[in-house]
Structure 1
Amino acid sequence: MTAPQWARAHTNIALIKYWGKKDAQLMLPANDSLSLTLADFYTDTLVRFTDSIATDQFALDQQPITGQPLAKVTRVLDQVRQLAGITAPAVVTSRNHVPTAAGLASSASGMAALAAAAAQAAGLTLDHPALSRLARLGSGSATRSIDGGFVRWFAGHNDATSYAAPVPAAPALLADIRVVAVVFSDQPKAIGSTAGMARTAATSSYFPAWTQRAAADLHRLLPALTAGDFAQVGQIAEGNALAMHAATWAADPPFTYFLPATLALVQGIQVWRQSQGVPVYATVDAGPNVKLLTRAPHVAAVQHWLAAHFPTAQVVVTQAGPGISYYPAGKEVDA
């Protein structure tokens, strides 16, 4: 074992959604997905293996964590211990920098930071695809938070073939794209993502069409990223998100993550875009909050429009972010 290790990983927003598993045990998704890593939202995690404790310990933002969240952490740590040939429990300390106001889940950044820090602390030298496979055991979306920029998660057919890797994109697009998070609710979801995926995959008559749509959207998105075609990227991302949510409406029993404001915003920006030519597109994960994709020169106009039409919503702006980074245990990271 080496010294205790800090790692930092950033959260991401999926442009081609991950929705449904073909193997829940291995966390293998039903379809490939593609995301953008975000600059301002991240998790710092310290891992220290020690024989001085009996079982793994996990604290998040100075609060001890037990139950299912701890079980997910231990699942990642067990794999690290197996790879490193060690048995010591670990003390895991995490600090989230994913504000509630951003409406973004922190599981992606949290599990990616855990995988990176634990591997280093155990003396392992893993490349990014291997780290993404490790992070996948804790959270599917964490697979895509090992790398920065645009990242593709290959669904694969077993553990070895289900991993993430960066995809090429025009440098101007990567520098120019902005994500405007619009938050209507920070309350827990009535149906969690895991349960929602499982119900959709098992009962929705639209689910087979969804997986086919996701594959076709990805096929169209890859050349659009390379060409730097923001309009095409936005159109594909918006359509893909709405197709995912359509599958939930066709589940049995049907359900939706949308609030009335969610649909009003999506429809509103479509009308605004078509009437005024403003390059702004919506994407929505498994929740009521909307992420708007736009270009840097148009951020102020988008913020002004939101203030006029949705004055009570919380709005946070970010851009493309980096992959994992490391800090020695003696170095103070941002509190």
Structure 2
Amino acid sequence: MNNPNQFIPTPYTNSVDSGNFTWSAPSNIALVKYWGKREPQIPANPSISFTLNKCKTITTLSFERKRHGGFSFDLLFEGQPKESFKPKILKFFERIESYLPFLTDFHFTIDTRNTFPHSSGIASSASGMAALSMTLMSVERLLNPEMTDDFFYQKASFLARLGSGSACRSIKGNLVVWGEHEDIPQSSDLFGVEFPFEAHEVFQNYRDTILIVEEGQKSVSSTVGHDLMNGNPFSEARFAQARTNLTRLKQILIDGDLKSFVALVESEALSLHAVMLTSNPYYILMKPNTLAIIEKIRKFRSDTNVPICFTLDAGANVHVLYPDEYKGVIKTFIDGVLSLFCEGGKYIEDKIGNGSELLTVNS
């Protein structure tokens, strides 16, 4: 399951001159965190995430055959040229060319937009690279009509990973594992796989409200943060902790054990930020309002026994996780208390989703 050569295509059996596809792909929020990697985008530890529903990228890829080789593409973000994005896409194309050799045969127009504000701190690289990978795989499927659905989605996840590691968890839903793990059948370092067990019904409609503590890009890129794990004195213990927590979370998800879910997910979030604090150079992405929200959530849970919990990405914003049946009381809590710690009172309501979706085809 960890041989990338399986994704190098044999000569294509069909030809196509032009067309376009539109796909949406969601962001995701990790429950067991991935932090640390080796080239090419191989995770130092396995992770598992909830796929989101509303926070997504919608990408239209138009393609037209050209006479001369080399990469050729235009990039639009929300309908306007976005030159600053082009170097990342060019690097992505260079990285995946051996797996998609048709990339030099066409001129592409990539038109992409997010359903959430670009400055909101939501992981747009995950949803963006996942949506782009889905459109590119749709082109390859025209050239190889015999491709199976399983291979289509598996290769899309493989490609998305080469653009942004966590993007491989945004292809499918609703719980996705990335990284080899002895307790997860078919798991792989090369692509994400759907959680291969039946999760308890309490986790089927789980909700995620994202509290916008700070808008804008974080001060340290994820790439830099991952690289700093190479010299972190606690890195090996962290990688082992993540593997153990994934084993524990597997059973928690099957059993519907909310108390254990809350404890493990919050511990994972704080462990992620702990290794940031112990890196050299260290960096602090939590803000005072992040800590205030965490304390308010802990007190509310203690006072009410409502199984609300928090998790964090590599940033200041807080993801509030809770079962659907508590959405009314928790919305009241967010509006009356937690929103006071958000920039401009802003938050985004979302829930667990089902992965990428084909929206339009013209080929």
Same fold (TM over 0.5): yes
- In 2, the alpha carbon distance for the partners of 1:219 and 1:299 equals 28
1:262-293, CA deviations, whole angstroms, 9 ceiling, x for partnerless residues? Answer: 11111221122123211111100011000011
Candidates 116, 125, 134, aligned match of 1:98: 116
1:79-108, CA deviations, whole angstroms, 9 ceiling, x for partnerless residues? Answer: 665445422232211121123585412111
Partner of 2:218: 189
SS in 2 for 1:186: coil
- Tell me by how many angstroms 1:146 deviates: 0.5
Partner of 1:49: 63
- Tell me by how many angstroms 1:197 deviates: 2.0
- Tell me by how many angstroms 1:191 deviates: 1.0
Kindly indicate whether residue 22 of structure 2 is the aligned counterpart of residue 6 of structure 1. yes
Residue type at the aligned position of 1:174: F
Candidates 128, 153, 157, aligned match of 1:132: 157
- Tell me by how many angstroms 1:195 deviates: 1.2
- In 2, the alpha carbon distance for the partners of 1:248 and 1:103 equals 18
Deviates most, 142-151 or 101-110: 101-110
- Tell me by how many angstroms 1:312 deviates: 5.0
1:191/1:155 CA distance change after superposition, 3 Å: farther
Where in structure 1 are there 5+ consecutive unaligned residues?
A: none
- In 2, the alpha carbon distance for the partners of 1:262 and 1:269 equals 11
Candidates 254, 279, 282, aligned match of 1:251: 279
Partner of 1:209: 237
- Tell me by how many angstroms 1:152 deviates: 0.3
Partner of 2:12: none
Aligned-CA RMSD value: 2.3
- Tell me by how many angstroms 1:224 deviates: 1.2
Candidates 183, 191, 203, aligned match of 1:174: 203
1:254/1:131 CA distance change after superposition, 3 Å: same
1:220/1:121 CA distance change after superposition, 3 Å: same
- In 2, the alpha carbon distance for the partners of 1:80 and 1:184 equals 36
Kindly indicate whether residue 53 of structure 2 is the aligned counterpart of residue 33 of structure 1. no
- Tell me by how many angstroms 1:109 deviates: 1.0
Kindly indicate whether residue 129 of structure 2 is the aligned counterpart of residue 111 of structure 1. yes
Contact 1:132 1:146 in 2 (8 A): yes
1:204/1:78 CA distance change after superposition, 3 Å: closer
Contact 2:36 2:230 in 1 (8 A): no
- In 1, the alpha carbon distance for the partners of 2:180 and 2:82 equals 30
SS in 1 for 2:29: strand
Contact 1:169 1:228 in 2 (8 A): no
Contact 1:266 1:282 in 2 (8 A): yes
- In 2, the alpha carbon distance for the partners of 1:34 and 1:56 equals 33
1:210-232, CA deviations, whole angstroms, 9 ceiling, x for partnerless residues? Answer: 11111111110011112222332
1:118-152, CA deviations, whole angstroms, 9 ceiling, x for partnerless residues? Answer: 11123354432221111011111101001010000
Q: For 1:139-158, what aligned pairs fall within 5 Å after superposition?
A: 139-154=164-179
Contact 1:107 1:139 in 2 (8 A): yes
Number of residue pairs the alignment of both structures matches: 324
Q: For 1:193-272, what aligned pairs fall within 5 Å after superposition?
A: 193-199=222-228, 201-272=229-300
- In 2, the alpha carbon distance for the partners of 1:324 and 1:117 equals 10
- In 2, the alpha carbon distance for the partners of 1:188 and 1:152 equals 26
Residue type at the aligned position of 1:44: I
Residue type at the aligned position of 1:42: K
1:311-332, CA deviations, whole angstroms, 9 ceiling, x for partnerless residues? Answer: 252222211111222133459x
- In 2, the alpha carbon distance for the partners of 1:95 and 1:254 equals 33
Deviates most, 282-291 or 94-103: 94-103
- In 1, the alpha carbon distance for the partners of 2:277 and 2:263 equals 22
The TM-score, its normalising length taken from structure 1, stands at 0.89
Partner of 1:293: 321
Aligned-pair identity (%)? 28
Residue type at the aligned position of 2:324: A
- Tell me by how many angstroms 1:57 deviates: 1.7
Partner of 2:77: 60
Contact 1:47 1:121 in 2 (8 A): no
- In 1, the alpha carbon distance for the partners of 2:244 and 2:216 equals 33
SS in 2 for 1:19: coil
The TM-score, its normalising length taken from structure 2, stands at 0.82
- In 1, the alpha carbon distance for the partners of 2:26 and 2:61 equals 17
Where in structure 2 are there 5+ consecutive unaligned residues?
A: 1-14, 182-187
